[in-house]
Structure formats: structure tokens, C-alpha cells
Amino acid sequence: MSRGLETRDYEDDRDENRKKLKYPKSVFFIVSNEFCERFSYYGMRTILSLYLTSKLSYSDDTATVIYHTFTMFVYFFPLIGAILADSWLGKFRTILYLSIIYAIGQLLLAASAAPTFGLPIREFSILGLLLIALGSGGIKPCVAAFGGDQFVLPQQEKYLAMFFSVFYFAINLGSLISTFLTPELRHGVKCFGEQTCYSVAFLVPAILMTTSIVIFLFGKSMYKMKKPEGNVFLNVTKCISHAIYKKTTRKISRDHWLDHADDKYDSKLISDIKSTFRVLTLFIPLPFFWALFDQQGSRWTFQATRMDGQIGSFVLKADQMQVVNPLFIVLFIPIFETCIYPMLAKINIINTPLKKMATGGFLAGLAFIVSGLVELQLEKTYPVLPSDGLAQLRLFNPNNCDVGIKLNNNQSFDISPFAMWQNTNINAVGDKSIKYEINFSKCGITEINYGLFNVTEKKATSFVLIPESSPYKFEDHVNKTDVGNPAIRVLTHNTLDTPALVEVLDSKDNKKYESKVAKGVEHSLFVELDPGTYKVKVNGVKKEINLKMGGVYTVQTYASKDLNQAGMVTVTTPNSMHILWLIPQYIIITMGEVMFSVTGLEFAFTQAPISMKSLLQAGWLFTVAFGNLIVVIIAEAKIFDRQANEFFLFAGLMLVDMVIFGVMAKFYRYVIVNDEDDDSDHYDDVADARNGTRLKDYGESNPSFTKNDE
């Protein structure tokens, strides 16, 4: 038989084997598991920043530090997961055990948010986040690889490509749904007498994570499980350590310092480590991109809380704005792949992976310039808060008549019924006294009241003017709520001998506030409500009020034999800048993600020696971890008082960083595997970054992969 006939017979047999091998059913359990896990992770992370500020009462800066520290650990722990899977437990048991830890963390976070359990809320929330980071990060390098293990190669190469497409679609679908749904649960469900329900919003992701474990276990009998074969990272670490030791103990000159390890390790491993180092060197500037990108869930979310999310009858929540990123990712990837990249290649610009990544970095910097400009406009709507050297004074008139005021014998004015007068700029160091004369003559009382209004530095002090006694004093709250909802304080003046019933009801007559006020004056704590129209009832007499996002209001109520009345004053102006002004910065940074993240994953995969691909993927994840560490450092340093200046700082650092990256990329020489040679250690150098040739094996990467953390 001729060689040609032998080859043809072999190929026919191989084609026949491919036809016989069915698509492994086990991967459907893995894909379903991934959907549930990603839903769980992104749902929890979407509302995390607002939970830290509104529920745990951390400042924006501290919440930013905690958020990015958590994210940093999520991207450090894949190293632990990879070592466990490759060296001891195998992928199946690593995924199972760490998923259980993951689910416990989610359940603990949900339980800590529920006051009925009486857990120390801060301590148990942080413990829950730590367990989630360990579980999520630990399974990150295992799930996709375990799915790949289910296929027989090369017979099922097409099936494998289909699996990764479906797998990454599940990632984006889980992210997209949970990013929109979880804020709705946080805001729409009421529990434990509160306007928001973080416990339920966290419980749903916890249930999804538990479900993912059950689904994963159902497929156990169908899985193909490979035994641990040793961890590449450990082998590389040992080789590098040995080379350093030999270099310091021997005085022999070698072409490369790693060559000192050739007495114990083979040349193939040493050569692969050298190639890996060349790529890892290019990774050094990359953390700055993630420092900007991951602030969508922290600084940009806090920025959104100070904006108006009213869109017709629907209110877009601040944390819900994060859904813009996965939504535009789905739209942009096919546009870039089919239109933008081919067009750029034709005109011979931005036609190599490193050029695309540098452009993506510049776009991230541009997005932060835009966010800084938005912040400058937003500053004009900020509330005036008490500060060093200044005190605030507010006078309320809950009477059905004008009240005359004279301050320090030189300032006179009248306060209309149910109105307020304020001075937010009183010079004060410590305490300060202001003389007053109060004239109730227009209320039918001829007696004039004299006394002192005592105000305090860095505090907002309010007084209620009533004829029966001295002014009623309380410390006021003027700052906007953490999540951007309106808030009201009910101030009641009851002249009756019997208690006055004061109620606040929403448009569906659901009771939001109720108080029986004895004779005299009483003020409530602030009540956070949804924006919309409400009814205030004083002994059954209704008054309609309208609350807008970000507004802080005082509702003054008056009860007497002849009149039951209510009036509302605005203490802090509601949000006036619309939340949709954030869309341009989201669009720009999402374009940057497509060019930087998707291309970077592709670059890390194709430029890695076959034996080092997992190591370079881990190196890529580490750039995300270090990016979040940068945010933690800058947030802790508190360099600026104004948020806009911090945005501009990040933009400037990003632009400088990408210039450095561009210079480094200019001298990088691309490497590809020779497609005609099955020997995995055969590599060809190709032209440097200025060459526009697309690498031959780029088609192996999957363009539908969009999430940076997978």
C-alpha cells in the first residue's frame, strides 16, 4: 500500500472517530454552574459599595478601600486555587470545596445584613467578603479548564470552541441580569422596617451560588476527571530560585541568569521561562487600566448617587448604572471585530495587539477625564455642609401666620407660614451666640420674645419658632442620603390638649410614617423614601407633597382646633443633573475594555509557551489585583478634597502609563507557534510591534470572552 493511501485511510478513520464522539453532556452542568456563580458574584458586587456606606455607615473613601481590597483578593486567590487543583485536589474537588466556602460567605453576608440575627454587622460582613473572595478567586482558574477537560482532542476541537462560546455567553448573561436585578431587590423589597432590603438582595445571589453547587454535583457521574499533574507555578518558582542561588554562589558568566539552573532543570523549561518573562515585563504597566476600570463599582457608583435617575415613571438606581458596561460589551465586540478592526487594518493603524491595548488604555484615561468634567458640574449641586470655622442656623415657622425676626439688632425679616429661613455661612469657632427678637404680632400675640440662638462650629442647628415657649432646638441633618433617595423630617407643632395624629402615605396609601404628637413641638428622625408623590395627613387633613431624588426636606405640620395644616420646605436641593450624563464615560471605558481586556487575554494566550499558558493567565489576573491595590493606596492617601481632582489624577497617570507601555511595546518581538510543526517548543520570531501582520494562531482565542476576571 502506498504512503498516500495510508494517510488517506488514517484521515478517514480520524473523521469516523470524530463522528462517533458525541458532545459531552457533562459540560451543560458546568455552563449552568458558571451562569449561577457569575450571577451570584456580580449581583453581590453591584450593590456592595452602597451597602458599605448606607448600611455599614462607612465613608465613601473607606467604602472604596474595602471594595477594592475585596476585589484585589478575588484576583490574588486564583493562585491558591490553581496550586490546589494542579498539585493536590484536582479540579473537581477544588471547585466543589471552594464553592462551598463561597456559598457560606454569601449566606453570611446576607445574614449579617438582617438585624433579626443580631450578628455584629461590620465584622461578619467583612468575614463574608473574605470567604467570597477566597471561593470566587479560588475556582476562577479551574471551571473553564475543567470544562475543557471533558472533550477529546483533537477529535472534538469544534465542540470545544462551541463550549467556550457558550461558557462565556453564560458569564455575560449572568452578569447582565444580576447587575440589573439586584439593585431592584435592594430598593424594591422592604424588610425589617427599612426602606431598603440588603439582606434579600444578598440572599438571592447566595441561593444562586448554592444552586450552582447542586448543579455541579448532579453532573459528577458524567465528568472526566484528570489527576493532578503538578503545578507549573511551583516548578517555575523552584527553577528561578535555583538559578538565583547558583548565580550568587558561582562566579561563572552565563548569557542569561536563568541559564545557571541548567544543571538541574532542562533547557526547555528554562527557555519557556525566558519567553514568559518577556511577556510578563510588558504586563508591568497594565494594573493602571484596572485601577480605572474597576472604579465603575465604587467611585462612579457614588457619583451616580448624587444624580437624578428619574426616567419617566422608572427610577434608574445608582448601582444599576453598572449594567451599561456588560450591555455595551455585547454590542461592541461584534462591531469591533467585523467593522472597526478591519477598517483600522486597511489604513495600517492600530493593527497589532499591543497597539490595540495601548489605545484601550488611552480610552480609559479619556473616560476619567469625562468623569472629572461631569464631577465639576455635579459639584454645583452639592449640599452646603457645616465645615471648619463655620456654623449653620435654620429657623422654622410651623404657624399659620408670619413671624417677625430681628437678629443682633441689625437684621430684620419675616418668615412666612410653614417656611424656613437659613444662614449656612456663620463664622464660628466653637460655640457662638446670636441675639434674637421674635415678634408674633401677626399671630395675634403682642408679646415679643428675646433670647439667644446658640450655634456650634461644624454643626447645623435648627430652631422652631412657637409662641408658647422658647424656640425648640435640635441638630439638623442636611447631607443627602447614601443611595440618592429623598429624605424627610416631620416637624409637628400641636396646640391641642390631645395628641395630634401625623401620617405620611405613598400614592398607594401605604403608610410610611406615623406619629402621635402630644401638645408642644416634636421632630422626627429622617425618613428615607422613594422619589414620588406622597400625602401628609394631620388629624386626617391631607396635604400632597412631591419628593425628588437627593432632596432633604422638612415637613412642618400644625394642629389646632380651627386648623390642621402641613407645609414642606427644602433643606437640601434635590439632584438636578441627570444620571444619563454618565453614559459617555461608560461608553468610552467599555470601548477601552474591548481593545484592552479582550485583546490582552488573547495576547497573553498566544504569546505564552504551551507549558506556560496558565502561568501567563495568572499573571494577567494579577494585573487586576494590583490595579485595585493602586486604588486602595490613592484612596487611603486622601490626596484631594475634591473628587474631580482625583479623577483627573487617575486620567493623567493612565495617559503617562500608556506612553511608557507604548515605548515598551515598540521593542517587543511577537512570537508564534509554527502551525506546521506539532512540537510545542518550536517558536518563530516575527516582526516587532510595528509589523501589522496578524498572528496566525489568534483565531484560537474566543472573541466572545468579555469579562476581565475570567
Q: In what order do the strands lie in the sheet with 472-475?
A: 419-427, 390-397, 460-464, 472-475
Over 70: is that where the pLDDT of 695 sits? no
- Please state whether beta strands 527-528 and 520-523 pair in parallel, antiparallel, or not at all (unpaired): unpaired
Distance CA 204, CA 207 (A): 5
Note the pLDDT tens digit of each residue in 404-450.
Answer: 999 998 899 999 999 999 999 999 999 999 999 999 999 888 888 99
Q: What is the pLDDT of residue 636?
A: 92
Q: What is the pLDDT of residue 615?
A: 78
Q: State which H helix or E strand residue 650 sits in.
A: helix 643-666
Residue pair 575/549 in contact (Cβ under 8 Å)? The answer is yes
Strand partners of residue 390:
427
Q: Grade residue 12 by pLDDT with cuts at 50, 70 and 90.
A: low
Cell of 80: 491558591
Average pLDDT over residues 106-119: 90
Distance CA 234, CA 579 (A): 48
Q: What is the pLDDT of residue 597?
A: 87
Note the pLDDT tens digit of each residue in 64-87.
Answer: 999 999 999 999 999 898 888 888
Q: At what angle do helices 613-637 and 599-606 cross, to 10 degrees?
A: 140
Q: What is the pLDDT of residue 433?
A: 95
Distance CA 698, CA 544 (A): 64
Q: State which H helix or E strand residue 307 sits in.
A: none
Radius of gyration of the chain (CA): 32
Note the pLDDT tens digit of each residue in 18-68.
Answer: 456 788 989 999 999 999 999 999 999 999 999 999 999 999 999 999 999
Cell of 149: 477537560
**Which of 128-132, 192-196, 348-352, 605-609 is modeled with the greatest confidence?**
128-132
Q: What is the pLDDT of residue 670?
A: 82
Least confident span in 16-20, 203-207, 259-263, 363-367: 16-20
* Locus of grid cell 400641636: 494
Q: What is the pLDDT of residue 674?
A: 46
* Locus of grid cell 493612565: 654
Helix, strand, or coil here: 500? strand
| Closest C-alpha among 163, 138, 25, 7 to residue 85 | 138
Over 80: is that where the pLDDT of 161 sits? no
Cα separations in angstroms, 440 against 418, 435, 569: 14, 17, 21
Distance CA 435, CA 575 (A): 35
Q: Grade residue 154 by pLDDT with cuts at 50, 70 and 90.
A: confident
Q: What is the pLDDT of residue 206?
A: 97
Beta strands in 172-316 (DSSP E): 310-311, 314-315
Q: Grade residue 178 by pLDDT with cuts at 50, 70 and 90.
A: very high
Cα separations in angstroms, 584 against 369, 581, 589: 11, 7, 9
Half-sphere exposure of 350 (CA within 13 A, CB side): 16
Distance CA 485, CA 657 (A): 38
Question: What are the φ and ψ backbone dihedral angles of 499, each rounded to 5 degrees?
Answer: -60, 145
Over 70: is that where the pLDDT of 703 sits? no
Over 50: is that where the pLDDT of 215 sits? yes
Strand partners of residue 405:
413, 438
Least confident span in 328-337, 509-518, 601-610: 601-610
Over 90: is that where the pLDDT of 463 sits? yes
Over 70: is that where the pLDDT of 682 sits? no
**Which of 125-129, 444-448, 619-623 is modeled with the greatest confidence?**
125-129
Residue pair 499/563 in contact (Cβ under 8 Å)? The answer is no
Residue pair 113/79 in contact (Cβ under 8 Å)? The answer is no
Average pLDDT over residues 540-556: 95
Note the pLDDT tens digit of each residue in 86-110.
Answer: 888 989 999 999 999 999 999 999 9
- Please state whether beta strands 541-547 and 552-559 pair in parallel, antiparallel, or not at all (unpaired): unpaired
Residue pair 662/282 in contact (Cβ under 8 Å)? The answer is no
| b/e map 224-238, b = 16+ CB within 10 Å | eeeebeebbbebbee
| b/e map 462-480, b = 16+ CB within 10 Å | bbbbbbeeebbebebbbeb
Terminal-residue alpha carbon distance, the chain: 50
Distance CA 496, CA 491 (A): 15
Classify residue 426 as exposed, middle or buried by CB count within 10 Å of its CB (0-12, 13-18, 19+).
middle
Least confident span in 200-209, 292-301, 388-397, 438-447: 438-447
| Closest C-alpha among 704, 706, 605 to residue 166 | 704
| Closest C-alpha among 52, 512, 589, 36 to residue 319 | 52
Residue pair 674/696 in contact (Cβ under 8 Å)? The answer is no
Q: What is the pLDDT of residue 5?
A: 44
Q: Grade residue 300 by pLDDT with cuts at 50, 70 and 90.
A: very high
Half-sphere exposure of 160 (CA within 13 A, CB side): 16
DSSP 207: H
Average pLDDT over residues 594-607: 83
Distance CA 576, CA 572 (A): 12
Distance CA 425, CA 431 (A): 14
Cell of 502: 401625623
Query: Checking phi first, is residue 350 left (phi over 0); if not, alpha (psi -120 to 50) or beta?
Result: left
Distance CA 113, CA 347 (A): 56
